[in-house]
Structure 1
Amino acid sequence: MPLAHEAAFPLDAASPEQLRLDPASIGRMVALIEKHIADGRYPGAQIAFARDGKLALHRSFGSARVTPTPVDATDDTLWLLFSNTKVVTACAVWALVDRGALRFADAVADHVPDFARNGKADITVHDVLTHQAGFPNAGMPEAAWDDHELMRRTVCDYTLDWTPGSRVHYHASAAHWTAAVLIEALTGRDFRDFIRTEVIEPLGLGDELFVGLPDAKHARAADIHEPAAEGAHTILADRNSAAARRAGIPGGGGFATARAMAAFYQMLLNGGRLNGARIVSPRMVDWVTRNHTGDRPDENFDMPMHRGLGPHVRGTTPTIRGLGTIGGARTYGHGGVGSSYCWADPETGVSFAYLSNSRIPEPWHSIRMDLISNLAHAAIER
């Protein structure tokens, strides 16, 4: 029986064949994921394809939870997005730029004056969102998850590891904590509330995408694991707690279904509009999904990542993380550490999401993501 919220999902359903997606290639992907689960690589996963504003496929695999009693993954299961969250948080900043509240060229300190401490006065919003701000290793204490004044002070106290703009180096959490503080300074609202009311709910995804998971939704959340010996999986206690789920860590704590992420990227492919709502402008989508860092290597990954202002771009280098080696040069998206990738291909109108619930170490994670994304690209018929 369909879930009560399914009628409101913003994408109508269509078959892969109707949307010019090759069932044989999709079947090979399904077989590969089923083999991964049978081999004990991860407990569960979920995938979704969408094209031209329609949902072609949404499928769940394996277990959402394995202890104390196994629970099957269903199409209603919510998966920890890890850094896929960054693009959703960045979208709230894009919307504020579209509304004239700030510019990407603004210094963060123009809007959060105390951010100027410790040599950060000239760091721009552009620097932060393209991972060039110079404080990649800064973090956030758990006490700040519920204390937004402490969150702001912590961000303002960040110190530099190197001169802003001189390097590209992935800011795993610091950039988007900075974005959260900026959103709150500009709106006077909790960043999670702003993201929800100005991005997620207008898209019709209010029951399938969360930055800050309400306690009432925790039963739908897949546990996140990491591999242990002989195909076993241990729970990552720090990411499965109720506090962590509620926190909505802006660079790594969102939850969603795969079809919600495919729909979010359909909004971008549609020039910032979905479900009758315009979230950002077409010009904004064009700007934030460009390659702003060229072929400069991201020192965290030892390869060019072609950073946009939220997502990263495939480009034309021989290697790329997660987006698929054979993907079109304009394909853009983001991943979640050791677990997932979501992307959009503006040449074909296809968006794809793959979410899983075990944080797999390298190099296997990147290898499997290249295989999965290549199979997704191989399914696309012109």
Structure 2
Amino acid sequence: MIVACLISALVTTVVIILLSNIVTKKKPPRVDGHVDSGFEEVFREFRRCHEQNLDVGSAVAVYYKGKKVVDLWGGYADYEAEEPWQQNTMTMVFSATKGVAALCVAVAVDRGYLDYDQKVSHYWPDFAQNGKENITVRQVVCHEAGIPMTAEPLTFSMLEDQHALGETLASSKLLWEPGTKHGYHSVAYGLLLSQLIQRSDPKHRTIGEFFREEISKPYGIDFHIGLPKKEHYRVARILVPSPFTLTLHLLQMLTSSRSYKFAMAMFNPRTLTSKVLRSTNHIVSLPKMNSLKFRSLEIPSLNGIGTASGLAKLYGIVANSGTLGKTLLSEDTIELFTSKCTPVRMDQIIMLQTQWCLGLHPHFDTIPQLNLKGVYGHNGYGGQGTFFDKANNLSFAYVTTKLSAYGMGEDPRYVAMVTAIYSSIEKLKMND
């Protein structure tokens, strides 16, 4: 019965894809930017995505050996208005924001403000409620804390009041024994990290302020958690999927070996997955994400906004031993990302075998054919993704406004470009 249902869903998916290609009005493809010699394959894959209408607005960037070797952008910042995507166009990267938040914590640890093995209650006494007194910073950063949802549903007014938000987070109850399991803290994650930064930082800054003053401005990284009003004009408009497209996405998830369990859990009201998603329904709404209000809020789990070039540069600093002109992170702290990881086990929320390395996930199984050992980063809903590869002194970022069903690195566009990058590097090594 299950096999028959999956076959039926697959056939339906193929029919919908064919119909979608027929009815979608295609606009002339636009691709701009540059690639260094040896990375032409990346350009070809990026251009193919736009020529085949797989993308309507996107950008990809790569740093290799401390130098930007790929900086491409294409399509439209506003598809309906046919406003061209420019070099400085920014877009929301959804959960790829979590990787940036995790790197902020790493900087705070590197400077002695935080200790991964210290209890959260040491910095935040009110947090020691409802059995949470022994939760460590490491457990929060690695999605092991057992509090993937807040004590009460999140609202925009709550997000605008850091004190009230802190009280809500502190009063949240455990859903499993900390450290015994991990489960994706989809929205609570970044909010918890921001509260930790505020309570340990000598200046008591939010994570968005900390990132801007300690990382973004000093290193020229075009990325924001909480977008300033003066920057809204540069933000691409997310192409909100229609009910027709969302149905297609669901069918794609149901026929994917990586995501079908998550898709089934989403629609079972008795599952923890469903309960966590319902707790954030008020704020996690794609139409709302194009609003100035949503972009301006600090939601360090999902509404980071920036360029692919900015993200690739940030991860490029890590890939380059923590230094690009000046030092952001020490070698010792960077080493923790590869040596201090959770066991590989079933995630309680996304229903997938995962592993967390201080807030980043290793990519060893993201693209199986590449066997990406030593690659760490964070992907996001719709196809976004960014990572660093210290062994190859490489970093990568891809962002898009045409959202797909994929959020864990399996998006075909992402896979194609990452494959092209490693193919290019192998050829360069052979010619050295």
TM-score, length basis structure 1: 0.85
2:215 to 199, 206, 209: 199
Verify: 1:286 aligned to 2:302, yes or no: no
The within-5 A match list for 1:1-382 is 16-17=36-37, 21-23=38-40, 25-36=41-52, 38=53, 41-67=54-80, 69-138=81-150, 140-187=154-201, 188-205=204-221, 208-228=222-242, 236-274=286-324, 276-290=325-339, 292-315=341-364, 319-320=365-366, 325-362=369-406, 366-368=410-412, 369-381=414-426, 382=429
Deviation at 1:370, TM superposition (A): 2.9
Q: Please tell me the residue identity of whatever aligns with 1:266.
A: G
Deviations 1:3-39 (A, max 9, x none): xxxxxxxxxx99532xxx442x324412432145x2x
Cα distance in 2 between the residues matched to 1:97 and 1:349: 23
Cα distance in 2 between the residues matched to 1:57 and 1:376: 9
Structure-2 residue corresponding to 1:7: none
Do the aligned partners of 1:306 and 1:314 also contact (CA within 8 Å) in 2?
Answer: no
Instruction: Describe the shift of the 1:261–1:370 C-alpha distance in structure 2 as closer, same or farther (beyond 3 A).
Output: same
Cα distance in 1 between the residues matched to 2:408 and 2:129: 40
Do the aligned partners of 2:34 and 2:72 also contact (CA within 8 Å) in 1?
Answer: no
More displaced stretch, 344-353 vs 293-302: 293-302
Would you tell me which structure has more helix in proportion to its own residues? 2
Deviation at 1:362, TM superposition (A): 4.4
Deviations 1:250-279 (A, max 9, x none): 1111111111111111100122222x2322
Do the aligned partners of 1:145 and 1:247 also contact (CA within 8 Å) in 2?
Answer: yes
Do the aligned partners of 2:224 and 2:304 also contact (CA within 8 Å) in 1?
Answer: yes
Instruction: Describe the shift of the 1:305–1:291 C-alpha distance in structure 2 as closer, same or farther (beyond 3 A).
Output: farther
Q: Please tell me the residue identity of whatever aligns with 1:312.
A: H
TM-score, length basis structure 2: 0.76
Matched residues, percent identical? Answer: 27
Q: Please tell me the residue identity of whatever aligns with 2:417.
A: I
Deviation at 1:365, TM superposition (A): 7.7
Do the aligned partners of 1:210 and 1:248 also contact (CA within 8 Å) in 2?
Answer: no
Cα distance in 1 between the residues matched to 2:65 and 2:373: 19
Cα RMSD over matched residues?
2.5
Deviation at 1:376, TM superposition (A): 2.6
Deviation at 1:128, TM superposition (A): 0.7
Deviations 1:121-140 (A, max 9, x none): 11111001111111123363
Cα distance in 2 between the residues matched to 1:324 and 1:136: 29
Do the aligned partners of 2:120 and 2:137 also contact (CA within 8 Å) in 1?
Answer: yes
Instruction: Describe the shift of the 1:35–1:168 C-alpha distance in structure 2 as closer, same or farther (beyond 3 A).
Output: farther
Do the aligned partners of 2:91 and 2:307 also contact (CA within 8 Å) in 1?
Answer: yes
Deviation at 1:114, TM superposition (A): 0.8
Instruction: Describe the shift of the 1:364–1:342 C-alpha distance in structure 2 as closer, same or farther (beyond 3 A).
Output: closer
More displaced stretch, 119-128 vs 157-166: 157-166
Deviation at 1:154, TM superposition (A): 1.6
SS of alignment partner, residue 240 of structure 2: strand
SS of alignment partner, residue 333 of structure 1: strand
Cα distance in 1 between the residues matched to 2:123 and 2:369: 40
SS of alignment partner, residue 347 of structure 1: helix
Larger Rg: 2
Deviation at 1:118, TM superposition (A): 1.6
Q: Please tell me the residue identity of whatever aligns with 2:378.
A: H
Structure-2 residue corresponding to 1:5: none
Q: What is the number of residues matched between the two proteins?
A: 353
Deviation at 1:195, TM superposition (A): 1.5
SS of alignment partner, residue 366 of structure 1: coil
Deviation at 1:183, TM superposition (A): 0.7
Cα distance in 2 between the residues matched to 1:214 and 1:171: 26
Cα distance in 2 between the residues matched to 1:153 and 1:296: 31
Do the aligned partners of 2:380 and 2:407 also contact (CA within 8 Å) in 1?
Answer: no
Instruction: Describe the shift of the 1:280–1:240 C-alpha distance in structure 2 as closer, same or farther (beyond 3 A).
Output: same
More displaced stretch, 104-113 vs 290-299: 290-299
Do the aligned partners of 1:90 and 1:310 also contact (CA within 8 Å) in 2?
Answer: yes
Cα distance in 2 between the residues matched to 1:286 and 1:270: 12
Give structure 2 stretches of 5+ with no counterpart: 1-32, 247-284
Deviations 1:206-259 (A, max 9, x none): xx1111111111010011233226779xx9222111121111311111111111
